[in-house]
Chain A
């Protein structure tokens, strides 16, 4: 029958179109991963900090403003380290360069690798925070029971929005399991892990088991 054949043609067309939408949406969801990163880098809204050192910009210190900068450190399961900071908060002027010492302690007898991953809150302060030197740019190696003190040097830009009076810097320690020790130390965390996908999987498992 004519109308049935027409139906069949119509059904086939509908199926092809809906399948195309399906494939498109599936791909779009994966495309959102890099897009989200790009979006966050441009707007700085998820508190992710650039993992490269920036140079100090010499500008006049704005002595009319005090910004309260707080430091929070967190460990994570699977890494027997302790991370502490010499002071939990400090007051700085925008434009002023400040330095604060962080201490990493390995509480186990074995050598291990870890990395502190930073996050900034409120997130719109991210773009106005210049880290001149930070332990978070690279992975750390600690021998058994070793204690290591590394400074964080940073500067707040003068164009920090006026409604921001407190900035919180959070550092979370994550374990990095290393088999090949002479892998480049200067890799940023992104590259470091992407070079070592298998190790990362082990880390996840290790982290899961200790819970």
Chain B
């Protein structure tokens, strides 16, 4: 499925900068596979990230379907419990680190230089390296499934000592894979920060940047702050496993609860890493199709920053049941609830942007609207989980599973799909097939809700997560969830079909593919030539 690429540069944006060393090397790009291995072009690397992410989305999706197939009926039918555990773990790891995060990085690579009027990312070679780390990392991670003892089976949160003393022998490979994925994210984040801070078009102030750029800038800072913590935690695990240290081993004076504190110091900002860029995409799409400027631009920026700041103060709400003192439970409960305030500001701003807008319902807008509604549902179940005394019942049940799938699937992933449908005309020069996209949307939204909504009830009734079997009373909910999951999974094939058809042809798109679109990326031709903005564009301030 090699995508057809934007044609070679027409030099529409040719400039006096041709003497620059980098531009010369583009005169004869290597052919075939080497072109992709060696590319330093932000658009090509962006496409690589997106294709990788889509592939991994299906790999992780198949793992999820193994889980849902086993849970279709009570009792053990298809897989051994040990393999079930590996499937839940790998599904989580792949979806978080190989599907959602690279998809956002891919969108960032494609769109940030276009949106700020930069010719490329600030560090193009580093960009190439950070991408190519990913296939290596996840090939290694997936290979652990074939190793003696199987792959990681301790959940994507890999709590010690389950992931140290009691882990399969392949755990050291899991750690190495995660290290590589982490380095990739860190390098990507450095690149994005360097690009945004230094390469904006002349006259574009920080507060003139499109919100996708803003949310990514803040996300990149989050990555810089927390990926080293993840690296440190897995390094400690590695030492506990192989070098006899006792960071998390109670027998040696270590503390397993310390693992949870360290993990969630990384883990909670991580969940915002997976949603802030989605906020940015939705903030680009809703004004376009409502044909109104975004309501409350500045408050959107401050709300994003506030969410990022608060994300460092709430980690222990994942650990209400470890036996924290009451004061700590109250502190983390209130800080968690406080996050609802900036998030509420955002939802309010989106709804207000829609108010009295001249709305049309093309596929990007449908996904963006579904995002607003369903993400808010996920936010509300998050508020329920934040209530410390209630969390003692919800903890580790399917209610938690329902909550984070509502914020990640119709949240992050719908936003990514919205972004893909929104920017496909810019990437390929063709509009995606609208009828197919609408079918994809309606099947997806039915599939998502059928899969995840019953999980709320199963969880409230006490069904524990990560268990391959369940009590008979949960049979109906699980039946519905499994049917929904297969329906949702199958309907994603429409997404792939839509992308392939769009790359191969379709209705031609003009430079400004959507009537209400305002940002700089719509000033370059569609498809965007390989090299854009070699001379910085003239930036006209739109009043926000």
Q: Which A residues lie at the B interface, using CB under 8 A?
A: 1, 3-4, 7, 10-11, 14-15, 18-19, 21-23, 25-26, 28-30, 32-33, 36-37, 40, 43, 45-48, 76, 115, 117, 119, 121-124, 172, 174-176, 189-190, 193-194, 197-201, 203-204, 207-208, 211
- Choose among B186, B253, B328 the residue with the greatest number of A CB atoms under 10 Å from its CB: B253
Among candidates A15, A32, A199, residue contacting B262 with C-beta atoms closer than 8 Å: A32
Which of B55-63, B235-243, B502-510 lines the interface with chain A?
B235-243
| Docked-complex contact B224 and A115, CB < 8 angstroms | no
Query: Is B480 among interface residues, defined by CB-CB distance under 8 A?
Result: no
Q: How far is the CB of A13 from chain B (nearest CB, A)?
A: 8
Q: How far is the CB of A110 from chain B (nearest CB, A)?
A: 19
7 more contacts with CB within 8 A, not counting A45-B328, A193-B246, A200-B251, are A3-B202, A29-B232, A29-B262, A36-B258, A46-B255, A200-B252, A211-B166
Distance of A204 Cα from B169 Cα, bound (Å)? 12
Contact indicator per residue, chain B 216-254, by CB within 8 Å of chain A (1) or not (0): 000000001111110111001000111111110111110
Q: A11-B198, A193-B246, A193-B253 are in contact. Are A25 and B190 (CB under 8 A)?
A: no
| Docked-complex contact A26 and B225, CB < 8 angstroms | no
Query: Is B370 among interface residues, defined by CB-CB distance under 8 A?
Result: no
Among candidates B225, B232, B253, B324, residue contacting A45 with C-beta atoms closer than 8 Å: B324
| Docked-complex contact A190 and B165, CB < 8 angstroms | no
Q: How far is the CB of B312 from chain A (nearest CB, A)?
A: 11
Q: A26-B232, A174-B251, A203-B251 are in contact. Are A14 and B244 (CB under 8 A)?
A: no
Q: A48-B255, A208-B165 are in contact. Are A174 and B250 (CB under 8 A)?
A: yes
Among candidates B123, B224, B240, B323, residue contacting A25 with C-beta atoms closer than 8 Å: B224
Q: A7-B122, A21-B225 are in contact. Are A190 and B253 (CB under 8 A)?
A: yes
| Docked-complex contact B323 and A123, CB < 8 angstroms | yes
Distance of A45 Cα from B224 Cα, bound (Å)? 30
Distance of A115 Cα from B164 Cα, bound (Å)? 20
| Docked-complex contact B324 and A11, CB < 8 angstroms | no
Distance of A115 Cα from B251 Cα, bound (Å)? 8
Task: Please give, as numbers and ranges, the residues of chain A lying within 8 Å of B244 by CB-CB distance.
Answer: 197-201, 204
Distance of A40 Cα from B328 Cα, bound (Å)? 13
Q: Tell me the B315-346 residues at the A interface (CB within 8 Å).
A: 323-325, 328
Count of A-B contacts judged by CB separation below 8 Å: 136
| Docked-complex contact B228 and A29, CB < 8 angstroms | yes
CB closest residue in chain A, given B241: A204
Query: Is B261 among interface residues, defined by CB-CB distance under 8 A?
Result: yes
Q: List 30 A-B contacts (CB under 8 A).
A: A7-B198, A7-B199, A10-B194, A10-B198, A11-B123, A14-B198, A15-B123, A18-B193, A18-B194, A21-B225, A22-B227, A25-B225, A25-B226, A26-B228, A26-B232, A30-B232, A33-B247, A43-B325, A48-B255, A122-B323, A172-B250, A175-B251, A176-B251, A189-B251, A189-B252, A189-B253, A197-B245, A200-B244, A200-B246, A211-B166
| Docked-complex contact A4 and B165, CB < 8 angstroms | no
| Docked-complex contact B243 and A197, CB < 8 angstroms | yes
Task: Please give, as numbers and ranges, the residues of chain B lying within 8 Å of A197 by CB-CB distance.
Answer: 243-245
Q: Tell me the B4-24 residues at the A interface (CB within 8 Å).
A: 16-17, 20
Task: Please give, as numbers and ranges, the residues of chain A lying within 8 Å of B224 by CB-CB distance.
Answer: 18, 21-22, 25
Query: Is B167 among interface residues, defined by CB-CB distance under 8 A?
Result: yes
| Docked-complex contact A193 and B323, CB < 8 angstroms | no
Q: Which B residues lie at the A interface, using CB under 8 A?
A: 16-17, 20, 122-123, 164-167, 186, 189-190, 193-194, 197-199, 202, 224-229, 231-233, 236, 240-247, 249-253, 255, 257-258, 261-262, 265, 323-325, 328, 536
Distance of A174 Cα from B251 Cα, bound (Å)? 6
Task: Please give, as numbers and ranges, the residues of chain A lying within 8 Å of B242 by CB-CB distance.
Answer: 201
Distance of A7 Cα from B119 Cα, bound (Å)? 12
Q: A29-B228, A29-B265, A197-B243 are in contact. Are A207 and B166 (CB under 8 A)?
A: yes
Provide the main secondary structure of the chain B interface.
helix
Distance of A176 Cα from B244 Cα, bound (Å)? 12
CB closest residue in chain A, given B16: A1
Task: Please give, as numbers and ranges, the residues of chain B lying within 8 Å of A203 by CB-CB distance.
Answer: 251
Distance of A1 Cα from B324 Cα, bound (Å)? 59
Distance of A127 Cα from B328 Cα, bound (Å)? 17
| Docked-complex contact A201 and B166, CB < 8 angstroms | no
Distance of A29 Cα from B258 Cα, bound (Å)? 11
| Docked-complex contact B262 and A47, CB < 8 angstroms | no
| Docked-complex contact A121 and B323, CB < 8 angstroms | yes
| Docked-complex contact B261 and A117, CB < 8 angstroms | no
| Docked-complex contact B190 and A19, CB < 8 angstroms | yes
Pairs A-B, 7 closest by C-beta atoms: A174-B251, A29-B232, A201-B244, A10-B198, A197-B244, A25-B228, A26-B228
Among candidates B17, B193, B198, B243, residue contacting A201 with C-beta atoms closer than 8 Å: B243
Task: Please give, as numbers and ranges, the residues of chain A lying within 8 Å of B240 by CB-CB distance.
Answer: 204
Distance of A26 Cα from B233 Cα, bound (Å)? 9
| Docked-complex contact B252 and A26, CB < 8 angstroms | no
Task: Please give, as numbers and ranges, the residues of chain B lying within 8 Å of A115 by CB-CB distance.
Answer: 251
Task: Please give, as numbers and ranges, the residues of chain A lying within 8 Å of B228 by CB-CB distance.
Answer: 22-23, 25-26, 28-29
- Choose among A4, A176, A201 the residue with the greatest number of B CB atoms under 10 Å from its CB: A201
Distance of A28 Cα from B312 Cα, bound (Å)? 14
Among candidates A10, A19, A32, A193, residue contacting B197 with C-beta atoms closer than 8 Å: A10
| Docked-complex contact B167 and A193, CB < 8 angstroms | no
CB closest residue in chain B, given A201: B244
Distance of A46 Cα from B258 Cα, bound (Å)? 9
Distance of A199 Cα from B245 Cα, bound (Å)? 10
Distance of A190 Cα from B190 Cα, bound (Å)? 40
| Docked-complex contact B193 and A14, CB < 8 angstroms | yes
Distance of A163 Cα from B323 Cα, bound (Å)? 16
Distance of A4 Cα from B249 Cα, bound (Å)? 53
Task: Please give, as numbers and ranges, the residues of chain B lying within 8 Å of A176 by CB-CB distance.
Answer: 251
Among candidates A26, A37, A123, A200, residue contacting B325 with C-beta atoms closer than 8 Å: A123
Q: How far is the CB of B435 from chain A (nearest CB, A)?
A: 45
Q: How far is the CB of A140 from chain B (nearest CB, A)?
A: 13
| Docked-complex contact A46 and B198, CB < 8 angstroms | no
| Docked-complex contact B246 and A11, CB < 8 angstroms | no
Task: Please give, as numbers and ranges, the residues of chain B lying within 8 Å of A33 by CB-CB distance.
Answer: 236, 247, 258
Q: How far is the CB of A195 from chain B (nearest CB, A)?
A: 11
Task: Please give, as numbers and ranges, the residues of chain A lying within 8 Å of B186 by CB-CB distance.
Answer: 22
| Docked-complex contact A208 and B250, CB < 8 angstroms | no
Distance of A208 Cα from B251 Cα, bound (Å)? 14
Distance of A165 Cα from B517 Cα, bound (Å)? 65
Distance of A23 Cα from B240 Cα, bound (Å)? 22
Distance of A17 Cα from B243 Cα, bound (Å)? 33
CB closest residue in chain B, given A22: B228
Task: Please give, as numbers and ranges, the residues of chain A lying within 8 Å of B227 by CB-CB distance.
Answer: 22
Task: Please give, as numbers and ranges, the residues of chain A lying within 8 Å of B229 by CB-CB distance.
Answer: 25-26, 28-29
